[in-house]
Structures are given as structure tokens and as C-alpha cells.
């Protein structure tokens, strides 16, 4: 990533401040940066590297070292696997070889993006370096799925969990990037507190469309012939995964309105309340499970059309079973 999009928000995060005070004492040998928000982990690491090499140790973004770090040009900062592929043992071996060569600055940072994609052999190859880290070398592992990491690796890294940001913070970050109020609200509502996810939503021209298709679906689904009309909706078939995310956020909001809790999607609060009247609380909880099941089937490569058909019929069935 060539620039830091969320500099202010990340600098105010809990995770950053923990590490910044850590670095003032000493930069450790190994850190695991854990978050499902992959793009942000990358950006977060860049900010950490800038903090370490910055002339004022503050990631000022103006000095020479900050500039080279941000443009991924710093001689002592290596970022691996930025395309999030499976990591070959060879890649790790080359990295450990490189780590054993002393640097001019005395400090060398390695970042392995999506380190949880390392298989056991790659993780074992890395383990040696973690056990006997060369002086001045720090390894940062960007980890989305912590359970994929070997315990032996985990026990040698300090785990830092990136913040889940509140709705207002995410919305403000989107406004700061120049998003309109409507887009910023929608992105924040659907982001689950993840900046990277909010950014993807804000930049996706389809998201607002998906949102209104999901609302239309819940409003219009009342008999089986409706399923036939809806299950060929291009929005649904093309972006099924994203559609399911949006749908589950709307459902959570429908459940929230039933118990008089605040809805996440504040920009469409009234609309959500009126749709929720057509469903019982029990039906809504069952539909959440139906969506989880649809997600699982998609991850198992079941055909999209089959997943969508079964999703719509199951929603309809739940709606009437629990009236």
C-alpha cells in the first residue's frame, strides 16, 4: 500500500498505542497482528514500521524514513506475501537467510501478510528464526485466522488484536476520505467495525444497490411465486456473499427494533421497523441461521443458484412457520 488511508484513526487506536509505548522501551522480536480486516493489517504494519524508523519516532509521514517506508522502499523493511497467497517454504527460507545478514541501521523488520496461510512446513521453517532471532530483527505476522497458526509460533509472538472501531469512528474516517454522508453511514453500518471493510463498501458501486435489493427482498417475499421472481435477481447472483452480509445486518437490525434496541443502520431505521412488523422474533432468529448456512454452502462451492433458491425458500418458510 503506497499511502496510509487511515492514519489518524489507526494512530488513535488502542493497538497502536500499546505498541508505540512498547517500542519506546524496546522493539520486540516477534508480533502477531491479528484482525479479520486484512487490508488494514497491512496498513497498520506500515504505520508501525514508520514509527520505528521515523526521525521523531512518531510516524510523522514527512521525514525521509517515513516516506521510504510508506512507499515500500525502505532497505530494512520487507513486506512478504502482499497478495495473500499460500506461502511456500522457499519464501520463508529466503527470508530467514536475509534476516541473518546484518543491516546498516541495525534494525530490520519483516512483515508476512496473511501469515495464517502458511502451511505447517512453512511455519516450521519460520519457527527456527523465532526461536533464535538475529539481533535487531523483528518479525510481524499479519494474521486473519489465529487458529491456523501453530501453537509453537503463537507462543513466541506477542499477539496484538487490532481494534474493532465503533460506528461513529468508522463513519468519520469515511467522511474524512471524502465520502458523502449517505455512503459513509452505509459503509459504517455494514462494516462490523472494520475500516478496510467499510472502505471496500464505500468504494463498491454495488453496495447501496445490494442494500436496497435486500430490503426489497424482505418486503416482497410473501409467497412461493415471489421466490421465482427474486431468485434471478442479478444483484443477488453476482454478489451473493456480499448480499448475505448485507442481509444479515438488516436482520440483526430487525431483531434490535423488536427489542427496542438501537439499530445499526441508522440511515434506514424507519424502513427497518416497518419491515420487521412482518416477521416474528423467532422467524428472524431462524433466518439468521439460514443465512449462516447459505454462507457455509457458498464456501463449499455449492452452486450459487442452488444456494440462493434454498435461501429464499427457507426464509419464506421460516416467516410463516413462526408467525
Residues that bind Zn ion (CB under 5 A): 54, 60, 63, 66
Contacts by 287-296, CB closer than 8 A, 24 or more apart: 287/251, 287/314, 287/315, 287/318, 287/319, 288/248, 288/251, 288/252, 288/255, 290/314, 290/315, 290/318, 291/244, 291/247, 291/248, 291/251, 292/248, 294/240, 294/244, 295/241, 295/244
Nearest alpha carbon to residue 46 among 2, 92, 87: 2
Residue 115, number of CB atoms within 10 A of its CB: 28
Least separation in angstroms between residue 49's CB and Zn ion is: 11
Closest contact distance (angstroms) between CB of 60 and Zn ion is: 3
Q: How far is the CB of 18 from Zn ion (least distance, A)?
A: 20
- CB 76, min distance to Zn ion, A: 15
Query: What does the alpha-carbon distance between residue 243 and residue 248 come to, in Å, rounded to a whole number?
Result: 9
For Zn ion, the closer CB: 49 or 66: 66
Choice between 58 and 274, CB closer to Zn ion: 58
Report the distance separating Cα 97 and Cα 112, nearest Å: 15
Report the residue number, 66 or 268, with the smaller CB distance to Zn ion: 66
Rounded (5°) CA angle 79-83-84: 95
CB nearer Zn ion, residue 17 or residue 152: 17
Closer residue to Zn ion, CB minimum distance, 23 or 161: 23
What minimum distance in Å lies between the beta carbon of 105 and Zn ion? 14
In this complex, which beta carbon is closest to Zn ion, that of residue 66 or of residue 162?
66
Identify each DSSP E strand in the chain by its residue range. 30-34, 77-80, 108-112, 137-143, 158-161
Grid-cell match 503463537, residue found = 154
Name the minimum Å distance from CB 25 to Zn ion. Answer: 20
Which of 76-93 are b and which e, b meaning 16 or more Cβ less than 10 Å from the residue's Cβ? bbbbbbeeeeebebebbe
CB of 54 or CB of 312, closer to Zn ion: 54
- For residue 72, the minimal CB distance to Zn ion (Å) is 15
Amino acid at each position: 500500500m503506497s499511502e496510509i488511508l487511515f492514519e489518524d484513526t489507526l494512530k488513535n487506536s488502542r493497538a497502536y498505542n500499546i505498541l508505540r509505548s512498547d517500542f519506546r522501551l524496546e522493539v520486540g522480536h516477534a508480533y502477531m497482528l491479528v484482525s479479520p480486516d486484512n487490508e488494514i493489517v497491512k496498513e497498520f504494519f506500515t504505520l508501525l514500521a514508520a514509527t520505528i524508523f521515523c526521525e521523531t519516532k512518531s510516524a510523522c509521514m514527512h521525514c525521509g524514513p517515513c516516506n521510504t517506508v510508506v512507499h515500500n522502499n525502505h532497505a530494512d523493511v520487507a513486506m512478504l506475501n502482499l497478495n495473500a497467497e499460500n506461502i511456500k517454504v522457499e519464501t520463508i527460507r529466503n527470508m530467514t537467510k536475509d534476516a541473518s545478514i546484518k543491516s546498516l541501521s541495525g534494525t530490520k523488520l519483516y512483515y508476512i501478510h496473511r501469515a495464517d496461510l502458511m502451511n505447517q512446513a512453512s511455519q516450521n521453517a519460520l519457527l527456527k528464526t523465532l526461536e533464535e532471532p538475529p539481533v535487531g530483527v523483528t518479525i510481524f505476522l499479519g494474521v486473519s485466522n489465529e487458529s491456523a497458526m501453530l501453537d509453537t509460533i503463537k507462543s513466541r509472538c506477542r499477539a496484538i488484536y487490532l481494534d474493532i472501531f465503533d460506528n461513529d469512528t468508522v463513519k468519520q474516517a469515511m467522511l474524512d476520505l471524502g465520502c458523502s454522508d449517505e455512503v459513509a453511514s452505509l459503509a459504517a453500518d455494514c462494516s462490523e467495525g472494520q475500516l478496510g471493510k467499510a472502505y471496500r463498501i464505500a468504494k463498491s458501486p454495488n453496495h447501496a444497490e445490494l442494500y436496497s435489493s435486500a430490503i426489497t427482498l424482505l418486503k416482497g417475499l410473501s409467497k412461493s411465486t415471489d421466490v421465482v421472481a427474486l431468485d434471478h435477481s442479478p444483484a443477488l447472483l453476482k454478489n451473493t456473499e456480499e448480499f448475505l452480509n448485507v442481509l444479515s445486518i438488516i436482520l440483526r437490525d430487525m431483531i434490535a427494533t423488536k427489542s427496542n434496541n438501537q439499530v445499526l443502520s441508522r440511515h434506514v431505521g424507519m424502513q427497518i421497523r416497518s419491515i420487521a412488523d412482518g416477521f416474528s422474533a423467532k422467524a428472524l432468529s431462524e433466518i439468521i441461521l439460514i443465512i449462516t448456512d447459505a454462507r457455509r454452502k457458498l464456501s463449499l462451492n455449492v452452486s450459487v443458484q442452488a444456494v440462493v433458491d434454498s435461501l429464499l425458500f427457507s426464509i419464506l418458510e421460516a416467516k410463516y412457520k413462526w408467525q
